[in-house]
A and B are shown apart, each in its own frame.
Chain A
Amino acid sequence: MRKTCFGLLLVLTLLGALSACGGASEESAAPTSSAARPADRLILATTTSTYDSGLLDYILPTFEAQSGITVDVVAVGTGQALAMGANGDADVVLVHARAREEQFVAEGHGTQRYDVMYNDFVIVGAPSDPAGIQGLESATEAFGRIAETEAPFVSRGDDSGTHIKERAIWEAAGLNPDEFGDWYIAAGQGMGAVLTMANELGAYTLSDRATYLARRADAQSEALTLEILVEGDPILFNPYGVIPVNPQKHPGVNAEGAQKFVDWLTGLEAQELIAGFQRYGQTLFVPDSAAWHEAHPEGAAEASDAPNPTQAP
């Protein structure tokens, strides 16, 4: 009779204790009373493009080894990452929506915005290209043709940096996505999921080059048949900025660690790492910090004209 209940409790406790051993290390690190986060942990709110492409996994171990600071990466959309910073839930944000970033600093949530790197957006679609946009030089013209033919288009629809860019292009084309019909699919998901959707639906979408290439070239991934149809238009330029969260607004943030991280990320060593980060023979991000430009004065001028990371040195 009572054996049953006892047995159940025993199983629960045993399993709980067993798993507690595995989880104990991260529990002990969490502070209980102090308002400040520990100095050796840093919460980095960033976009799915920097994380899903594998860049952060590639560069962060170097920073962690040098500084003794563990970086906890929370990969969300740019909108959510900035909101995390504005709530003081992150110590530093690494995002890609310049106007929003400047607004974030202007509102006092961040101390300063620093250039980190860039790549570019590309318009991808099925090889059959129903709207006939392949090879167009103007992204706005391409978007105009897609809207005209009402060929399916998958939008991120999640207030991410890519989504913000996409809306800017529609606007430049004199169109309003809110008035579009069923062919315009607002997915509300991350870049990887949207690429998969567009692939399944034979639809167009706007993607950052890094995530597209990482997905396209990754042998473990589900094969993408989507191809780059439009690239190289200056409107497709995609700069990334890093901003420490303002400790005056949020006294609990790890401001010292955040500044250390920003100094390291914009410093030459990290910039070299970013330049050397390749996946399947392709460079995904081009370094763009002040320190980098100082060390490589000739690369800077050329890069701002043609944001094409695949051809960068």
Chain B
Amino acid sequence: MEITLRSLHVTLVALLVSTLIGVPLGAWLALGRVPLRRLALALIYTGMGLPPVVVGLFVYILFSRSGPFGSLAWLFSLRAMIVAQTILALPMVAGITMSSIQSVDPALRPQLRALGATRWQVVRTIAVEARFGILLGVMAGFGAIISEVGAVMLVGGNIEGRTRVLTTAIVLETRRGHFALALALGAILLSLSFLTNSLIMLGQGGGRWRR
């Protein structure tokens, strides 16, 4: 139970940060005048396929005592895990937000302008039009990081009662040969993912499954 809550804690904080940064970033990439836009896109798309273990290694080196942020003593804490997962989720959220905003009817902008909408109102209306795509981006980010093990294992250290989350506990129990327990933890992880996605879907459908 404690492990499940910790998994949720790390993933949701990371997802919240990614959403707060990623959605505006995606909107800006889609609508704003972005210098070196192609390069930014290439970076975002590369980021969507980042190998978690590489991100883990990178964050490990950053927060290692002999690394640039070593004095924070964040290594082997939830904070380092959140940083790693934010790096993993951010490109997903930003990239999918961007493409869904881009796919909103391009004629909408001049129309809104003609109707006298302010710049901010235009952006908001387009974002509302693209809300399902943005939601999909957030969900994709959630799915990627709740199930991720490489990065959190490396920077969290799988410390019992401190940084052990569902995925690292599954690795440990498998290593110990406790396949049944590992499988049970896997089932919890899956149901967690299903539950969270269902809640979002229900929220979107106004409390109904049908729509």
With beta carbons under 8 angstroms apart, the residue of A7, A89, A193 that contacts B174 is A193
B131, A5: Cβ atoms closer than 8 Å: yes
* Residue of B with least CB distance to A199: B177
In the bound complex, do residue B6 and residue A89 qualify as a contact, i.e. CB atoms below 8 Å apart? no
Q: Please measure, in the bound complex, the distance between the C-alpha atom of A130 and the C-alpha atom of B148, giving whole angstroms.
A: 40
Contacts of A195 in B (CB 8 A): 177
* Complex-state Cα separation, A22 to B65, whole angstroms: 27
> With A and B bound together, what is the CA distance between A21 and B13 in angstroms?
12
Q: Is the CB of A87 within 8 A of B131?
A: no
* Contact of A8 with B135 in the complex, beta carbons under 8 Å: yes
Question: How far, in angstroms, from A180 to B92 measured CA to CA in the complex?
Answer: 43
Nearest Cβ distance between residue B198 and chain A, in whole angstroms? Answer: 10
B-binding segment of A25-33, A145-153, A157-165, A291-299: A25-33
Contacts of A13 in B (CB 8 A): 16
Q: How far is the CA of A19 from the CA of B165 in the complex (A)?
A: 12
Q: What is the total number of residues of chain A having a CB less than 8 Å from a CB of chain B?
A: 55
Tell me whether B8 and A192 are in contact (CB under 8 A): no
Interface 0/1 of A62-78, CB less than 8 Å to B: 00000000001111000
CA distance A31 to B73 in the complex (A): 7
A22 B6 Cβ-Cβ under 8 A:
yes
Residues of A within 8 Å of B9, CB to CB, are: 16, 19-20, 22-23
B102 sits at the interface (CB 8 A): no
How far is it, in angstroms, between the C-alpha of A10 and the C-alpha of B157 when the chains are bound?
Answer: 31
How far, in angstroms, from A72 to B77 measured CA to CA in the complex? Answer: 10
Collect the chain B residues with CB atoms within 8 Å of residue A37's CB.
Answer: 73
Binds A, one of B42-50, B114-122, B178-186: B178-186
Taken residue by residue from 187 to 209, chain B's Cβ proximity to chain A (1 for < 8 Å, 0 otherwise) reads as: 00000000010011001101000
Question: Interface segment, A114-122, A217-225, A266-274?
Answer: A217-225
A11, CB-defined interface residue at 8 Å:
yes
Whether a CB of chain A sits under 8 angstroms from the CB of B70 is: yes
Interface: B94 (CB within 8 A):
no
Q: CB of A250 within 8 A of chain B?
A: yes
Given A11-B199, A30-B79, A72-B159, residue A190 in contact with residue B12 (CB < 8 A) = no
B138 at interface, CB cutoff 8 A:
yes
Q: Is the CB of A8 within 8 A of B157?
A: no
Judging by beta carbons under 8 Å apart, are B135 and A4 in contact? yes
Contact A12 B12 (CB under 8 A): yes
* Contact of B30 with A by CB under 8 A: no
Q: Are B128 and A5 in contact (CB under 8 A)?
A: yes
Contact call B128/A250, Cβ cutoff below 8 A: no
Q: Is the pair B176, A221 in contact by a Cβ cutoff of 8 Å?
A: yes
- In the complex, the answer to whether A88 meets B176 with C-beta atoms within 8 Å is no
Number of interface residues of B (CB under 8 A): 53
Enumerate chain A residues within 8 angstroms of B8, measured Cβ to Cβ.
Answer: 15-16, 18-19, 22
Give residues 36-80 of B contacting A (CB, 8 Å): 64-67, 70-79
Which residue of chain A lies nearest to B7 when distances are taken between CB atoms in the complex?
A19
Choose among A52, A190, A192, A252 the residue that contacts B71 (Cβ–Cβ < 8 A). Answer: A252
Residues in A whose Cβ lies below 8 Å from that of B5: 18-19, 21-23
Q: Which of A19, A26, A32, A215 contacts B162 (CB 8 A)?
A: A26
Partner of B178, one of A30, A48, A87, A221: A221
Q: How far is the CA of A179 from the CA of B135 in the complex (A)?
A: 53
Choose from B65, B73, B79, B128 the contact partner of A1 (Cβ within 8 Å): B128
Assess the B64–A52 pair: CB atoms within 8 A.
no
A-side contacts of B158, CB under 8 Å: 74-75
Contacts of B75 in A (CB 8 A): 89
Nearest opposing residue in chain B for A253, CB measure: B65
Residues 1-43 (chain B) with a chain A CB within 8 angstroms: 2, 5-10, 12-13, 15-16, 19
User: Can you name 25 A-B residue pairings with CB atoms under 8 Å?
Assistant: A1-B128, A2-B128, A4-B203, A8-B200, A12-B15, A16-B13, A18-B8, A19-B5, A19-B6, A19-B8, A22-B8, A23-B10, A26-B161, A27-B79, A35-B71, A52-B175, A74-B157, A87-B66, A192-B175, A220-B177, A220-B181, A222-B177, A224-B177, A252-B71, A253-B65
Instruction: Please give the residue numbers on chain B whose beta carbons come within 8 Å of chain A beta carbons, in ascending order.
Output: 2, 5-10, 12-13, 15-16, 19, 64-67, 70-79, 128, 131, 134-135, 138, 157-163, 172, 174-181, 196, 199-200, 203-204, 206
